[in-house]
Structure 1
Amino acid sequence: MENKYTARTFALEIATILLAILFLVPFYYVIVNSLKSFAEILLNASALPTEIKWSNYTVAAERIQYGKVFLNSLIITALSNVVIVVFCSMAAYKLVRSTSKLSNIIFIMFVAAMVIPFQSIMIPLIRVTSNLGLLNSIYGIVIMYLGFGSGLAIFLYHGFIKSIPKELEEAAIIDGCSPFGVFWRIVFPLLKPITVTIVILNSLWIWNDFLLPLLVLQDVSLRTIPLATFYFFGEYTKQWDLALAALVLGIVPLLIFFFLMQKHIIKGITSGSIK
């Protein structure tokens, strides 16, 4: 039976288009105003620029030392994703395959930790970090991201590993595979769809995070893109034209990464369903 194009379908399409436009409005304001002069932004922030000022991007990149802060953000995001994926995937695998009550208690503690707001532990965290000598250290902030990201990552891995047949691991053990070999050769490749999902979620969070780097990375040479963008907001002046240009420079790499990884997650889910 052929599907008919009804009035209800038309109404849903119109509603979807309006909703999409609503979500795109902030992007319009950011991109359009990043191409204006400061005076023109104050006159009318909604209008298109009368004269496109590409110089905003070059000046903003020079002011924030874009190459340096981009590298800092990239290193922190990449290292944090690596340690979260490695440690949390192994932890979740052990918690799933262990039948003891202690494993269930530990899993519940990881899940419960997700509801604790960062602001409530912010001051004790900085004190402990300072005592351990991890302030002004990329490795220090990576360890913190591991702690804050473990709850969600273990929760997602835990649910996905439950769907993997245990018979695959038993067959590998019979063939002489070690416990680490079973995980890295058999189990971990099957975790690709959820691993990509975790990497995307953590990258969006870590790349855009402002508060934790502000507290930990006090050295100017270790600033990330969000911290560097804050440079344009002083006590008496706010350079919106340059700040918005710097914001676009920070968003573009993340958008490129998201669209590239989106292909992988769709492919991974499709291949997994076929298997």
Structure 2
Amino acid sequence: MGKKTRGLNRLVELGLWALSLIIFIPYLLVVLTSAKNSKEAGLFRLSFPSEFHIFENYQTIFERGHIIQGFINSVVVTFGSLVLVLACAALLSFYIARVKGKFSDFLYRFFLLGMVAPISLVTTFNVLKGLNLLNTRLGIIMIFAGILIPFAMFIYVGFIKTIPREMDEAATIDGCGPYRMFAVIIFPLMKPITFTAAILVFMNVWNDSQIPLFFLNDNQYWTMPLNIYRFYGYFRTDWNYIFGNILLTTLPVFIIYLVGQRFMIEGMTSGAVKG
């Protein structure tokens, strides 16, 4: 009976692995189409090209697609947002998790509203205009920070509550102030959840096209997803070029997720203190 159960479990596992490969089909279609000529690409078939045009296609994409400019804009906006979100959310979460009182409860509930309340485009537009941040990368970074800090705070608070308060007391006895205690003791223990939050924030900011579209009028600041929109206007019938642009845009996210998925699982399942 035990052998039958193990055999059945292995069979189910193999079936699940086979089903999981389905998610690679759209990505494979993009990769193969980006190597075809325009006529074959327009057929949208999951097949190898009769003749590979990788060099010619990607040369056109880099020359006409503003790839370098879009990549620089995406890197600046994404990493600027990432640093601001993690720094603010970690400090805020430490205060909320450790200080018991009406004000900390109010802050927690107030920032939770940010996870469900939609962004007010008109109000945000006027605020950025008043601060002279409209049509700037800094303005976009501030918007992403405002949107994603509540989410990062939510997962940080739950993790910090698993860290024993005795560590805070021991650090205080040794002469650590609150900021030094957070930087030297608490924040290093938050490494797993920080990796998780960083990957999720990275994916959200890098893939977003609506916020830059609404608040960036000058296309010299457009990010990679917006470049696809502009590129489609140039080559709306040449899907080999469009799919190549899509591949270059999604490749960083795909690599980050593959490299960081272990840290995401660790951050969601592990505690701060082991042993």
Q: TM-score if structure 2 supplies the norm length?
A: 0.90
- Distance in 1, matches of 2:18 and 2:57, equals 31
Equivalent-residue separation in structure 2 for 1:236 and 1:271 (angstroms): 50
2:81 match: 80
Give the conservation status (yes or no) of the 8 Å contact 1:30–1:248.
yes
Q: CA deviation at 1:47?
A: 2.5
Identity among equivalent positions (%) equals 32
Work out whether 1:142 is the aligned partner of 2:141: yes
Structure 2 residue aligned with 1:94: 95
Aligned partners of 2:159 and 2:271 also within 8 Å: no
SS of structure 1 residue aligned to 2:52: coil
> Which one-letter code corresponds to 2:133 in the other structure?
L
Query: Which position in structure 2 is the counterpart of 1:41?
Result: 41
Where do 1:107-256 residues align within 5 Å? 107-118=108-119, 121-234=120-233, 237-256=236-255
Deviates more, 1:39-48 or 1:59-68: 39-48
Moved more, 2-11 or 140-149: 2-11
Cα gap change, 1:234 to 1:23, in 2 (>3 Å)? same
Structure 2 unmatched runs, 5+: none
Q: CA deviation at 1:155?
A: 0.3
CA contact (8 A) 2:235 2:242 kept: no
SS at match of 2:233: coil
RMSD: 2.4
2 CA distance for matches of 1:265 and 1:22? 22
**Retained in 2: the 8 A contact 1:232–1:239?**
no
Partner Cα separation in structure 2 for residue 57 and residue 103 of structure 1: 53
Q: Residues 191 and 77 (structure 1 numbering): CA distance in 2 closer, same or farther, change over 3 Å?
A: same
Distance in 1 between residues matched to 2:263 and 2:38, nearest whole Å: 41
Return structure 1 stretches of 4+ with deviation > 4 angstroms. 1-7, 263-273
Query: Do the aligned partners of 1:232 and 1:240 also contact (CA within 8 Å) in 2?
Result: no
Tell me which residue corresponds to 2:50. 50
How far, CA to CA, are the matches of 1:205 and 1:259 in structure 2? 16
1:157-187, Cα deviation, whole Å (9 max, x unpaired):
1100000111111111111111110111111
Q: How many residues matched? A: 273
Contact in 1 for aligned 2:159/2:272 (Cα 8 Å): no
**Letter of the aligned partner of 2:169 in structure 1?**
E
Given that 2:163 and 2:273 are in contact with CA atoms closer than 8 Å, whether structure 1 keeps it comes out as: no
Amino acid at match of 1:31: V
How does the TM-score come out when normalised to structure 1? 0.90
Q: Does the 8 A contact of 2:163 with 2:272 survive in 1?
A: no
